[in-house]
Chains A and B, each alone.
Chain A
Amino acid sequence: MKRKYSIFSILKNAISGHENWQKMWRSPEPKKSYDAVIIGGGGHGLGTAYYLAKEHGLTNIAVIEKGWLGGGNTGRNTTIIRSNYLWDESAGLYEHSLKLWETLTQELNYNVMFSQRGVMNLAHNEHDIKEIKRRVSANTLNGIDSKWVSKEEIQKIVPIMNTDNLRYPVLGASFQPRGGVARHDTVAWGFAMRADEMGVDIIQNCEAHKILIENGKTIGVETSKGIIKSKKIGIVASGHTSILAETAGIRLPLQSKPLQALVSEPIKPVINTVVMSNAIHAYVSQSDKGELVIGAGTDGYNSFTQRGGFDVIEDTIRAMVELYPCFGKMKMLRQWGGIVDICPDASPIISKCDIEGLYFNCGWGTGGFKATPGSANVFAHTVAKDEPHAINAAFNLDRFVTGKLVDEHGAAAVAH
């Protein structure tokens, strides 16, 4: 059933007290077998199912999720979207994604609230200036709208920022006007709804336990709802990907760590762009509700606890208060942690592996949300055609053996 949203449907449902909205997706029991199964019902997994059905005609597929849709890292990030990465490979991937973001609301007929308010990356020392200017130049060559802005220009864009009277003064920044934020839940829900319409089974509360392999070929997955047979399985399980890979006898170069974020009480608009600082590690944007959405760092040790250490928040808040003295007396409302899977080169893995029919989309580390539609789009191609899309060919598993890494530690905003 096609679900259309318009001013008329809102009016109609307002009259009946919003009690008769149709369900956004079915909740089917799993069938015995599918043409493909995607493990992980976050934005990347649901998007993959959407593009598999839409662009590759694969509709007899399922997405299995151990909790609820978008309840993992899709619901635990700071929703920042940008594409100002250094290397050509990354620029290709993240820019592909940014272009899809720009039309996603229309494509899904569901408002993902993509707001292109610009993203700023601050420089606090001589090295930052050189590194950021180099990245701006690399971006320009790749056709990405990145530019260097001086301290005076920053003061005009973000008047509340303390640029001079702090230990590491602000010396300039890169600015990508097309970057911004989006609403995380609606991305997952929008993809889920449209995939469901095309016949994709979205199965929640269904945990994948073991990947079943026979003679080097994928034959299915053992889940908490029984065995589901499939010759193609895509694992998009973020922090838990390496655990599932292990059940198939595959070792991945991933380390899982908690990454934290927090939001303040809502206030009137004070900051109309996204400001990130690698050097002092503080980044912030203001949500449509008025809350400041603040990103903290990863813990220094592996963990699956989904909460993270308090010292990490303390570090971030210390930097925030120095950079924005007017935030000093605000209260923080909520704090949370997500388990991110970090690759040694801070770039993702979107790849086949030695086992036929087993695919990985993982290693997004601290910056996966921005890539949601792009990652899903190229991963769907990889799963459907059994070969990588030109855009994700460089993000293979072999790169750790050949040494052809895509080192994005500089462009990844969270130091790790």
Chain B
Amino acid sequence: MLIINCPYCGPRDQCEFTNGGEAHVTRPKNPENISDQMWAEYVFFRSNPKGIYYERWVHSHGCKKWFNSVRDTSTDEIIKVYKIIDKKPLPKEFKNKIKTPSGEPKVGSGNFTVKK
């Protein structure tokens, strides 16, 4: 269970929120002119990284506002929370601690936050 810092209400329990999937996915400008492949990319294909992940949340049992967060999916650590109108923070702002390509540290289960 996560504590999510809603930019409007402050820190609240995660069960008050609903996840909205990947953030910063833009709808293609001319859907009638693009290929099926590109449309499929927009409808079905989302990134699924083990590590830094940009995602949307809605405070559905609170202020009902949407906002974005940056979370490390290998630890569930929420690194940054920002409003929809804010600029996307660049990945280089965050230090990715992942050691191996699959994201596991050389020894252990990868649950960094548990070990902290």
Residue positions of A touching B, CB distance < 8 A: 66, 207-210, 224, 240, 242-244, 247, 251-256, 300-307, 309-311, 341, 344, 400-403
Contacts and interface: CB of A to CB of B under 8 A. Distances in A.
Given A244-B102, A300-B18, A302-B55, A309 B44 contact: no
Contacts of B45: 251-253, 400
A305 B76 contact: yes
A133 to B, nearest CB: 30
B101 A209 contact: yes
A402 B36 CA distance: 7
Nearest to A245: B48
B75 A309 contact: no
Interface in B86-114: 100-104, 109-111, 114
A209 to B, nearest CB: 5
A255 B44 CA distance: 10
Given A208-B102, A301-B71, 11 more contacts: A66-B102, A209-B101, A243-B50, A252-B45, A255-B21, A302-B48, A303-B73, A304-B50, A305-B75, A306-B111, A307-B114
Contacts, number: 84
B46 interface: yes
21 contacts: A207-B100, A207-B104, A208-B102, A242-B48, A243-B102, A251-B41, A251-B45, A255-B48, A256-B48, A256-B50, A300-B18, A300-B19, A302-B53, A304-B103, A306-B111, A309-B1, A311-B1, A400-B40, A400-B44, A400-B45, A402-B36
Contacts of A251: 41, 45, 47
B14 interface: yes
Nearest to B40: A401
A302 B15 contact: no
B37 interface: yes
Contact of A304 (B1, B18, B74): B74
A73 to B, nearest CB: 15
Nearest to A224: B100
A169 B63 CA distance: 33
B110 A305 contact: yes
B101 A301 contact: no
Nearest to A307: B111
B21 to A, nearest CB: 8
Contact of A253 (B46, B75, B76, B103): B46
Nearest to A401: B40
A107 B71 CA distance: 46
B2 interface: yes
Given A304-B110, A306-B111, A240 B14 contact: no
B62 interface: no
B11 interface: no
A403 B44 CA distance: 10
Contacts of B28: none
Given A243-B50, A255-B46, A309-B14, A301 B19 contact: yes
A207 B50 CA distance: 15
Contact of B102 (A209, A311, A402): A209
Given A304-B73, A305-B76, A311 B48 contact: no
Given A301-B55, A309-B14, A243 B49 contact: yes
Interface string B56-98: 0000000000000001011110000000000000000000000
Contact of A309 (B2, B37, B55, B104): B2
Contacts of A307: 111, 114
